[in-house]
Amino acid sequence: MDVDKPEVWFLTGSQSLYGEDALRKVEEQSSSIVRGLSESAAIPVSVTPKPVLTTPDAIRQACLDANADARCVGVVTWMHTFSPAKMWIAGLTALQKPLLHLHTQHNLALPWAEIDMDFMNLNQSAHGDREFGYLATRLRHRRKIVVGHWGDPEVQRRIGTWTRAACGWREAQGLRIARLGDNMREVAVTEGDKVEAQIRLGVSVNGYGVGDLTGRASQVEDVDIDLLVKTYEDEYDVVPELRKGGARHDSLREAARIEVALRGFLKDLGAKAFTDTFEDLGKLRQLPGIAVQRLMAEGYGFGAEGDWMAAALVRIMKVMAAGLEGGTSFMEDYTYNFAAEVPQVLGAHMLEICPSIAAGRPSCEIHPLAIGAREDPVRLVFTAPPGPGFVVALLDLGTRLRLVANEVDVIEPEEDLPKLPVARAVWQPRPNLAAAAEAWLMAGGSHHTCFSQALGLEVLDDFAEIAGIELAAIGNDTLPHRFRDELRWNQVYYHLAGAL
Ligand code: MN
Ligand 1 centre to CA of 334 (Å) is 9
Residue 500 Cα to ligand 1 middle (Å):
30
For 149-204, write each residue's pLDDT tens digit: 999 999 999 999 999 999 999 999 999 999 999 999 999 999 999 999 999 999 99
448 CA from centroid of ligand 1 (Å):
6
Q: What are the tens digits of pLDDT across the range 369-388?
A: 977 789 999 999 999 999 99
Q: What separation in Å is there between the alpha carbon of 446 and the centre of ligand 1?
A: 10
pLDDT, mean of residues 329-339: 98
pLDDT for position 497:
85
Amino acid 120: pLDDT:
93
Output the CA 408–ligand 1 centroid distance in Å.
20
Q: How far is the CA of 179 from the centre of ligand 1 (A)?
A: 15
| Cα–ligand 1 centroid distance for 109 (angstroms) | 55
Ligand 1 centroid – CA 349 distance (Å): 6
Is pLDDT above 60 for 62? yes
Report the alpha-carbon distance of residue 281 to residue 274 in Å, rounded. 14
CA-based Rg of the chain, rounded to a whole angstrom? Answer: 25
Q: How far is the CA of 457 from the centre of ligand 1 (A)?
A: 23
Q: What percent of the chain has pLDDT over 90?
A: 95
- Dump pLDDT digits (tens) for 198-254: 999 999 999 999 999 999 999 999 999 999 999 999 999 999 999 999 999 999 999
108 CA from centroid of ligand 1 (Å): 52
CA–centroid distance, residue 437 to ligand 1 (Å): 18
Find the 222 Cα to ligand 1 centroid distance in Å: 32
CA of 391 to the centre of ligand 1 (A): 15
How far apart (Å, rounded) are the C-alpha atoms in residues 401 and 6?
Answer: 27
Residue 247 Cα to ligand 1 middle (Å): 30
* Ligand 1 centre distance from Cα of residue 390 (Å): 18
Mean pLDDT score across all residues of the chain? 96
Taking the centre of ligand 1 as the mean of its atom positions, its distance from the CA of residue 307, in whole angstroms, is 8
Q: How far is the CA of 454 from the centre of ligand 1 (A)?
A: 23
Q: Are 78 and 106 within 8 A, CB to CB? A: no
Question: 392 and 458 in contact (C-beta within 8 Å)?
Answer: no
Separation between Cα atoms, residue 179 and residue 266, nearest integer Å: 10
CA of 301 to the centre of ligand 1 (A): 15
CA of 447 to the centre of ligand 1 (A): 7
Could you tell me the distance, in angstroms and rounded to a whole number, from the CA of residue 330 to the centre of ligand 1?
10
Position 3 scores a pLDDT of: 54
Kindly give the distance from the C-alpha atom of residue 211 to the centroid of ligand 1, in angstroms, as a whole number.
22
pLDDT tens across 389-431, in order? 999 999 999 989 999 999 999 999 999 999 999 999 999 999 9
Lowest mean pLDDT among 13-27, 157-171, 330-344: 13-27
Q: 96: CA distance to ligand 1 center in Å? A: 36
Q: What is the pLDDT of residues 250-272, one digit of tens each?
A: 999 999 999 999 999 999 999 99
As residues whose CB is below 5 A from the ion ligand 1, the structure lists: 304-305, 332
Cα 333 to ligand 1 centroid, rounded to whole Å: 9
In this prediction, residue 373 carries a pLDDT of: 80
Say what the pLDDT of residue 498 is.
75
In the reported structure, the alpha carbon of residue 456 is separated from the centroid of ligand 1 by a whole-number distance in angstroms of 24
Residue 220 Cα to ligand 1 midpoint, Å, equals 29
Q: Residue 499: what pLDDT?
A: 57
Ligand 1 centre to CA of 289 (Å) is: 13
Ligand 1 center from residue 65 Cα (angstroms)? 43
Average pLDDT over residues 316-329: 97
Distance 470 CA to ligand 1 centre (A): 24
Give distance in angstroms: CA of 336 to centre of ligand 1.
16
Give the pLDDT of residue 264.
98
| Distance from Cα 350 to the centre of ligand 1, integer Å | 7
Ligand 1 midpoint to CA 45 (Å): 35
How far, in Å, is the centroid of ligand 1 from the Cα of 386? 23
Ligand 1 centre to CA of 332 (Å) is 6
Residue 5 — very low, low, confident or very high, per pLDDT cuts 50/70/90?
A: confident
Distance from Cα 183 to the centre of ligand 1, integer Å: 10
Distance 83 CA to ligand 1 centre (A): 53
> Taking 70 as the threshold, does the pLDDT of residue 2 lie above it?
no
Distance 406 CA to ligand 1 centre (A): 18
